[in-house]
Amino acid sequence: MFKTTLVLAPAIGVLLLSACAERSLVVVLPEPNGHVGAVVVHSGGSQTVLNKGYAAATPSARSANPLPAGTYGDEKVKRMFGETLAAMPEPPVSQDLFFKVDSLDLTPASEAALQNFLDKLKTRKAVEIVITGHTDTKGKDDYNDALSLQRAESIKSTLLPVLLKYGVGADSVAAVGRGKRDLLVATPDDTPEPRNRRVEITVR
């Protein structure tokens, strides 16, 4: 018993010390398209903004503690976070679909694009589909919100039997409307624009 205490004492000391020195590590990653966003690290009343690829900080309870540029790089991140990054889900993929004038029939180009898109489902696991309706800027917000949702719902019912063939059941398909918030082609308000009357299908 006495011996155990002797052995444990330093171990407990080390534990206490490391608890005092508790730190987190944050590393911002460059994205494949070259875009880098930012993470603001708040800690112990101080903060630091990480907005460059591989910018890093090791915040403790006392400070945000940004690290000098170059402290972390691709190799080091892979060594420390390799298993974690390997578990990242595939990014969602979207496809715009357009309709013949005054119709819910897809244009021939969109028919082809849809088929192409559906083929991607074969390689994905636990597929979820989101169908997002968009309108042009003609009309009021409420009207366009309702219209975009209606358009998405309508496409959803058309696509459900097709999606089922790819093993995607109705409970994995959602229809949402974005109204005129996400224009493909920027226009002034109250402007009819066929390219903005679209439905976007996303696989997640």
Partner 1 sequence: MQTTVSPIVYHRRRRNSFWLLGCFVAGLPLSAVADERIGQIKTETGTVTIVQAGKTRPAQVGGPVFRSDTVITAGRSSVGITFADNSLMALGPFSRLSLDQFRFNTTTHDGTFDVSLKKGTLAIKSGQIVKQTPEAMRVRTPVAVLGVRGTEFVVRADGTES
Choosing from 60, 107, 187, 191, the residue that interacts with partner 1 (CB under 8 A) is 60
Residue 184 lies near partner 1 (rule: CB under 8 A): no
The separation between the first and the last C-alpha atoms of the chain, rounded to the nearest angstrom, is 57
Using CB under 8 A, which of the segments 7-15, 38-46, 99-107, 188-196 binds partner 1?
A: 38-46
Residue 177 lies near partner 1 (rule: CB under 8 A): yes
Please report, for residues 22, 106, 146, the alpha-carbon distance to residue 9 in angstroms, rounded to integers and kept in the order given. 20, 74, 68
In sequence order, the 6+-apart residues with CB closer than 8 A to the CB of 17 are none
Residue 120 lies near partner 1 (rule: CB under 8 A): no
CB 175 within 8 A of CB 133: yes
Question: In a 10 Å sphere around its CB, with 0-12 CB exposed, 13-18 middle and 19+ buried, how is residue 172 labelled?
Answer: middle
Choosing from 10, 34, 37, 68, the residue that interacts with partner 1 (CB under 8 A) is 37
Residue 166 lies near partner 1 (rule: CB under 8 A): no
CB 162 within 8 A of CB 64: no
Instruction: Please state whether beta strands 198-203 and 129-133 pair in parallel, antiparallel, or not at all (unpaired).
Output: antiparallel
Residue 23 lies near partner 1 (rule: CB under 8 A): yes
CB 42 within 8 A of CB 19: no
Of 100-119, which residues contact partner 1 (CB under 8 A)?
A: none
Choosing from 90, 105, 111, 119, the residue that interacts with partner 1 (CB under 8 A) is 90
DSSP 89: P
Least Å from the CB of residue 198 to partner 1: 16
Q: Residue 70 or 91: which CB sits closer to partner 1?
A: 91
Q: Which two tokens stand for residue 135?
A: 């309108």
Residue 42 lies near partner 1 (rule: CB under 8 A): yes
Q: Which residues bind partner 1 (CB under 8 A)?
A: 18, 21-29, 31, 35-44, 50-51, 58-61, 64, 67, 77, 80-81, 83-92, 125-126, 128, 145, 149, 174, 176-179, 181, 202, 204
